[in-house]
A and B are shown apart, each in its own frame.
Chain A
Amino acid sequence: GAGVSQSPRYKVAKRGQDVALRCDPISGHVSLFWYQQALGQGPEFLTYFQNEAQLDKSGLPSDRFFAERPEGSVSTLKIQRTQQEDSAVYLCASRTGASYNEQFFGPGTRLTVL
């Protein structure tokens, strides 16, 4: 079956532009996570959804970052007024249930802000 997909795979934005990153999790997966991974670093937690409910958004760096999952499947991470420090790979992951089991990661979106 299909894995987690993300689009676009690459995004170049001028500083100040808004961007929207999409994640299609594995069908039926309850939990969905967004991570930010800077070069040479581990993934940093941004936010977590259980179905359509955003249960934890403590990792979002600023109020310029916003995530949603309105129907409990596809999720969008939006970054307003992008800054150069937002340049990173944004990873999405999903898993079957609420409690821990294997996370399945998407290929990521590489965002470059010029």
Chain B
Amino acid sequence: GQQVMQIPQYQHVQEGEDFTTYCNSSTTLSNIQWYKQRPGGHPVFLIQLVKSGEVKKQKRLTFQFGEAKKNSSLHITATQTTDVGTYFCEIGNTGKLIFGQGTTLQVKP
């Protein structure tokens, strides 16, 4: 079945530094979604990417979908302590949805 690998598992940064997490699939994806889960909380939807090479921005967050639609990244510019949490990619459309293992971001003030 479909699988998605997410790296790195953990990232510790100083406040103000940038952060990137990557998701990679061995198969071509129809779409990919990104979620954020704060410590003790539940996943919250951030964005969906559908088109090859798509780039979407939300303030300091930049989401990219690869040209081959097999990989995606989430980049945070100038991290803040409010960015702390675990970021997950998710693949699937109808039916079964599969989450990556997540990247946990710690930000040192």
Contacts from A to B (Cβ < 8 Å): 33, 35, 40-45, 48, 55-56, 58-59, 91, 93, 98-108
Contact = CB atoms under 8 A, between A and B. Distances in A.
Nearest to A33: B97
A48 B93 contact: no
Interface of B: 6, 31, 33, 41-45, 48, 88, 92-102, 104
Contact of B42 (A45, A59, A100, A106): A106
Contacts of B6: 42
Given A33-B97, A45-B98, 10 more contacts: A40-B104, A42-B6, A42-B88, A42-B99, A43-B99, A45-B97, A100-B33, A100-B48, A101-B48, A103-B33
Chain B residues touching A, majority SS: loop
A45 B98 CA distance: 7
Chain A residues touching B, majority SS: loop
Contacts of B104: 40
